[in-house]
């Protein structure tokens, strides 16, 4: 295990431990032993492969943890990334664990994923682990890049303060209509601000990832009612968005700073000038 600096972030290579116990977790779930399944999952994600097979996986551990640590250093070197990492609740821990190259090749799977370590067990017995708060697990392959890891750290930050409350958001692009959650809207916008701060290419949206310049994205946002509602909600209620709006004044792309101008463009073509913020349920 490698703790990253003074941040509540631990890089933990546990791939072989996870694969060893995956069948056991599946069996516990099928048997309806959901609490036992969760406790085993917590143990797996906080255990290192360094304790297995007399150090057989030492080189794999070193390579993964060094590579992810380098990725985190790159994020820390960007003012936006440093802001996100610095805001994660210090009373929690973010566990970054490996997703294998083989797993990356599997279709219909998320490239990276973040969930609460002590997740809420679903009442219907489903496998979903996205509800909860506190410590988090990020399943990550370094080939996905620092921008993807930054995106996941935004989720970890929201979980760390029990603020992760996804609401479906619908929008249209030239290639089709999509549904994502409000949490992905926030993470994608912070990711784009991060990329702009580094003068790297931006992407239109979370789903298509189409390379697009600032004006094209702002035009896209001003033509999508629900995305604007989500931005408005976060600008009013999320400290990370407020801080980004008032901190990165010279960063070219910053829709939180420029929100008023984007909404003004929306109103020009709307039937009504009234744009309510997204309705998000209160926390527990």
Q: Tokens 């976060």 sit at which residue?
A: 234
d(CA 101, CA 141): 7
Position 272 scores a pLDDT of 63
The model's pTM: 0.93
pLDDT of the residue at 282 = 56
Rounded CA separation 227/171 (Å): 7
Tens digit of pLDDT at every position of the chain (284 positions): 999 999 999 999 999 999 999 999 999 999 999 999 999 999 999 999 988 777 788 899 999 999 999 999 999 999 999 999 999 999 999 999 999 888 888 865 668 999 999 999 988 888 888 899 999 999 999 999 999 999 999 999 999 999 999 999 999 999 999 999 999 999 999 999 999 999 999 999 999 999 999 999 999 999 999 999 999 999 999 999 999 999 999 999 999 999 999 999 888 876 666 676 666 665 54
The Cα 230–Cα 6 span in angstroms is: 32
Contact 13/97 with Cβ under 8 angstroms? yes
**In whole angstroms, what is the distance from residue 240 CA to residue 231 CA?**
12
pLDDT of residue 210: 95
Classify 62 in phi/psi space as left (phi over 0), alpha (psi -120 to 50) or beta. alpha
Q: Which residues contact 96 (CB under 8 A, 6 or more apart)?
A: 9, 10, 11, 12, 68, 138, 140, 149
Domain ranges of the chain: 2-160, 168-268
CB neighbours of residue 210 within 10 Å: 15
With CA atoms as reference, report the closest residue to 115 among 90, 97, 141: 97
Find out whether 134 and 118 touch, Cβ atoms under 8 Å: yes
């Amino acid at each position: 295990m490698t703790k990253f600096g003074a941040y509540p972030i631990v890089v933990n290579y546990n791939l072989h431990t996870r694969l060893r116990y995956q069948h056991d977790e599946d069996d516990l779930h099928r048997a309806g032993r959901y609490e036992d399944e969760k406790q085993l999952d917590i143990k797996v994600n906080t255990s290192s492969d360094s304790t297995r097979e007399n150090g057989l996986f030492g080189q794999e551990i070193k390579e993964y943890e060094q590579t992810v640590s380098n990725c985190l250093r790159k994020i820390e070197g960007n003012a936006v990334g440093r802001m996100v990492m610095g805001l994660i609740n210090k009373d929690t821990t973010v566990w970054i664990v490996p997703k294998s190259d083989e797993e990356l090749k599997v279709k219909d799977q998320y490239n990276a994923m973040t969930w609460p370590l002590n997740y809420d067990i679903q009442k219907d017995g489903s496998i979903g682990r996205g509800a909860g708060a506190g410590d988090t697990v990020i399943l990550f392959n370094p080939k996905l890049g620092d921008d993807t890891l930054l995106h996941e750290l935004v989720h970890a930050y929201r979980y760390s303060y029990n603020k992760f409350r996804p609401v479906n958001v619908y929008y249209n692009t030239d290639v089709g209509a999509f549904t994502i959650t409000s949490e992905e809207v926030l993470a994608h916008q912070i990711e784009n601000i991060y990329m702009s701060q580094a003068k790297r290419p931006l992407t239109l949206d979370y789903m298509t990832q189409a390379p697009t310049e600032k004006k094209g994205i702002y035009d896209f946002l001003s033509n999508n009612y629900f995305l604007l509602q989500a931005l408005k909600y976060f600008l009013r209620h999320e400290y990370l968005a407020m801080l980004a709006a008032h901190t990165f004044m010279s960063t070219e792309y910053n829709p939180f700073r420029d929100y008023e101008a984007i909404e003004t463009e929306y109103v020009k073509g709307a039937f009504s000038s009234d744009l309510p913020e997204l309705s998000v349920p209160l926390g527990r």
